[in-house]
Structure 1
Amino acid sequence: MKILKYLLFLFLIAIIGFSVYVTTQPDEYRVERSRLINAPLSMVYDHINDYSKWTHWSPWMEKEEDATLNFSDPSFGEEATYSWKGDELGEGSMTTIYSARDSILQKINFIKPYESEADVFWNLEKTKTGIQVSWGMEGNLGFMEKAFLVFQGNSMEAIIAPDYERGLLNLDHYLHEEMAKYNIEFPGITQYGGGYSVYQTTAFRISEADDQIAKMTEEVSSYLERENIGAAGPPFAVIEKWDLENDAALIALHIPVRDQLTMPSGSTIFSGYTPPGEYYKAVLTGDHKNLKEVYEKAYFNLEKLDYMVPEERSGFEVFVKGPKESENPAEWVTEVYIPFAKKDPSN
């Protein structure tokens, strides 16, 4: 009996000691992880703000793909919610309290394996090399939650941080996969209607093409705005020279207008006319870096049709949808018009 009392006494001492140790643990916690993601701010924000898009990158979906998920309608913006239920993930829900382009605040409620709530926060900082994305959680711990962590020899940092790191990595990879998507179509021989335009011509390195074309587009567009002249179509670039060996290009950036214009003396913007004609047409949906593949395949197709590309005629690219319309390069649309002629049988 004395041994039983002694053991009971030791057990009580252990319980008291454990309780005292638990009460000395921090009542608050804050866990935060960051990653630099080289993607447009609009894309990063959209895939965090919209709960339905979390399925593409969530670290928890990797743990239990068949967990039950429910989303509010709409699933984005303030007051949007989503809930989950699974054997591995437990049960809970999340609600967006505040949403802006540079920060998002959410409230997370856990039901199983134990009830608790916390604040989830996102900060998006635009830098020269991408978006610095910070994802964190902070909250208070009750006695039972602290006891649970002590009993497991665990911490909120050890529980949350690996998932947040994995989630940011997944988000980074997914956005890059989305931006890299592209498609090439070949409508083939088509008639281009021609028309008047205003344009600016610039020589530059091929490696600077996107930046230079964007700059010329802005300057020609600004001229039309100042003169209160409406554009009659999307901008297009006439390729007057493209020297890969010397990394040199000469491009005329045109914006169509309805009527022929008389330009003031000394202007760097000129008035032009593109005559109607037949061209071999290709359409790229995606990043401009894929244009090299467009030309390679188009030239191959022309070769099979027994056509050649005459040096006296210039091809051009129509920027139907570009960076001004979408920050996601996978959504850009470029129409490529390549001049062609029948091969000379004597050659």
Structure 2
Amino acid sequence: MPVARWFLLFGALAGLTFAAGVATVMTMAARTAELNPRREVADQVDRLIVALIVVFVLLLVCAAGLALVVRYAVLKPIDQLTDQVRAVAAGDFDRDLHVDRPAELAELSSHIDSMRGRILSGWRTAQDQAEELRRSNGELEQFAYVASHDLQEPLRKVASFTQMLEQRYADRLDDRARQYIHFAVDGAKRMQALINDLLDFSRVGRVTGGRTPTESGAALDRALDNLSAAIEESGATITRDELPTVLGNQTQLTQLFQNLIENAVKFRSEEPPRVHIGVRRDGGMWEFRCSDNGIGVEPKYADRIFLIFQRLHARDVYPGTGIGLALCRKIVEYHGGRLWLDGDATGPGGHGATFRWTLPAAGDT
């Protein structure tokens, strides 16, 4: 109940008590007069009645004064501050919050207004940053378009015409010339692969759609289809647990499985690759793992391998652009999870590497 109503309630009770007291005094005075007391007693009673009436009047005046003080010194400033706060809450963020009295409410309004100013400043800064981010994203979209079309076309021409040059003048080229042509073609193809990987990295969370309930098993099936040639060539064996439904984007989850399994096949040991995809429930998340029997990763490189363009091996030994694991981590973080190398776990055969990541569960699956 509002404070004003509490004051009205207690004021009404005080008024009833005052009226009851006056009525009681008047009744007692009338009954005393009916007893015909001696003159001295009657005079004392009259003086007592007058004193009581004076006290009641003074109490009435004090109550009225207190009511005025409360009304104009407390209730009215509170109403004023309440109206100002409501105006700010309704969207008038430039509205100043200020009352003059009493000192306690004036100090409180000053603190609230200072907080309003800080929030407003932070909000406007966030708006400016969001606008700058939208502009930057627009420029990034333009760059992605240029990279996917205008930049790759010259690379395709370099590779194709260089190969045509080798075919047409093969009888006139020595081994060194053929080696130079090979370097040129290989460089153009690696540049194309790098551009495509950078585009995939930049697209995460921007142009691949939102997150919906997705069968992670179906995403794994698509990844295995894409890697069928590499799996068959290496003689790899892929096993899995029964995979759940998660809240995610199927295209990105396919990229995630594909990159992790491709790495497991690429960085294999002398034994045929064996990869296992496992999963367990962890609260509102599903924790996945990809274990292999490959060459493994030293624990000291557990963080470095997730940085873009970071490589632990020479390109001529293990080809690649150094973006795969960085892309995997970005995909997982976009889904609200985390990806890490489990340095304490080993893969099939007691060696290799185990990557773990979490994805949000889609309902009670």
Please state which band the TM-score falls in when normalised by the shorter chain.
under 0.3
* Higher normalized strand content (fraction of residues): 1
Based on CA coordinates, which of the two structures has the bigger radius of gyration?
Answer: 2
Normalising to structure 1: TM-score of the pair? 0.24
- Give the TM-score, by structure 2 length: 0.23
Judging by fraction of residues, say which structure has more helix: 2
- Work out which structure has the larger RCO, using CA pairs closer than 8 Å and 6 or more positions apart in sequence: 1
